[in-house]
Amino acid sequence: MKFDKILQYQKIDQELMNLESEVAKSDERQKFAVAKSHLEGATEMIGKLKSEAGEILAGYAAMKEKIDALKDELDEFDGILDDVQDANEADHYLKMVASIAEKINALEKEANGAAAKIDQVNDSYKKTWDQGVKATDVYKSAKADYDNLVRKLQPRVVEIKSQLNALKAEIPENIMNAYLALRTAKKMPAFVAYDKTKGVCGRCFMDVPNDTKSKLRNVGDYAECPNCRRILYVADEQ
């Protein structure tokens, strides 16, 4: 029968998929995934906090620079009123001094707020860093357990893949491609015997339309099930 090889391939491949499923559903894999997620979360948060701290520090430095410049400007008014006789002129200078002093006070208040924010970010950074260190330890342990599981199953996986590669050379390319596409789509088994007496798919058990039935009359015939998209074939015994 023309499908002997692909059916043999499918049977052997099923064991490989069972091993893949065993690994995917294992406690080791779940713990590894959680540990990895926690570590990535801590790493991402550390990056965000570093960026936030950098922005705050840059803003704080700019404010301090403005404050120093305003204080230098304010120093220029020291003793200026000593020689001023005109009341209006004196009032003008006083208003200028008051305006500069007001700007300094506002900037110092803002700078103090930035300094407090820097302290908060620094505390958060330290806590997140500690969490990251712990997450790294958990991740390393979980990864070691996961790697041990994979390593334990690897000899059988290699053996199965070797068998599959040997069979693959004996399977027509179009048949192999159809199988692999269905495997990727997680529609397994990919090749299913067609029940001519009932006229239904051997997997989804849906009625097969007449145009598909017309392609499945003789041994070796095959066609795609229009319902589940698996490949139906007519076996020898029919």
The domain segmentation of the chain, as residue ranges, is 4-171, 187-233
User: Taking residues 22-28, what's their average pLDDT?
Assistant: 96
Structure tokens at 163: 């068998």
Give CA–CA dist 113/118, Å, rounded.
9
Q: E strands within the chain?
A: 191-193, 222-224, 231-233
Which numeric CATH code is attached to 4-171? Answer: 1.10.287.1490
User: What are the respective helix, strand and coil percentages of the chain, to the nearest 5?
Assistant: 75, 5, 20
pTM: 0.71
pLDDT tens string 166-208: 999 999 999 999 999 999 999 999 999 998 888 888 899 888 8
Given a cut of 80, whether residue 86 has pLDDT beyond it is no
- What contacts 77, CB < 8 A, 6 or more positions away? 93, 96, 97, 100
Count of beta carbons in the 10 Å neighbourhood of residue 178: 19
Structure tokens at 88: 């209006």
**What pLDDT score does 73 carry?**
85
Tell me the C-alpha to C-alpha distance, in Å, between residue 207 and each of 203, 212, 219, 226, 228. Answer: 11, 10, 20, 10, 11
